[in-house]
Amino acid sequence: MSDSGQPRDAHYADTAPGDNPFDRHGTGEAVGSYLIGLGLATLLTVVSFFISGTTLVWGPSIPVALVVLAVAQMGVHLVFFLNITTGPDNINNVMALAFGVLIVFLLLAGSLWIMAHMNYNMMPMDQIMRMQR
């Protein structure tokens, strides 16, 4: 196989992350895919900034909406900019990503869970100070 990043046969070869499968169809299609990504990411960013300052929606729902929008935008970046897709040539990349996401989830959820419980179980600070005297 040559080193051009273009697999000899799309069915058998892997694709490096970041290599755009649209390349096989020409530069125009590759630019088009980046343009779609830019458009979607811009849309999601604008909605995020708008929703954070609005009073149109119920307050407590805003953080949830922001997280959902951020995750969606990360997905857009992964698919259109990093070209991580679900295709058969991308299985290794997706498996590595899935493992990374698992570790990130464990780290974030575990830290927040444990620290929230520690805060809850901890004696108020002024009592601790009094005991130390």
The contact set with other proteins (CB under 8 A) reads 1-5, 7-9, 11-20, 23, 27, 30-31, 34-35, 37-38, 41-42, 45, 48-49, 52-53, 62-63, 66-67, 69-70, 73-74, 77-78, 81-82, 92-93, 96-97, 99-100, 103-104, 107-108, 111-112, 115
Which residue's CB is nearer to other proteins, number 52 or number 127?
52
Which residue's CB is nearer to other proteins, number 13 or number 129?
13
From the CB of 133, what's the least distance to other proteins, in Å? 22
Which residue's CB is nearer to other proteins, number 113 or number 130?
113
Which residue's CB is nearer to other proteins, number 16 or number 130?
16
Is residue 44 within 8 Å of residue 76, measured between CB atoms? Answer: yes
Q: Give the residue from 67, 66, 71, 39 showing the smallest Cα distance to 54.
A: 66
73 CB-near residues (< 8 Å, 6+ apart): 40, 41, 44, 45, 48
Rg (CA), the chain: 23
Residue 36 CA, chain-centre distance (Å), reads: 17
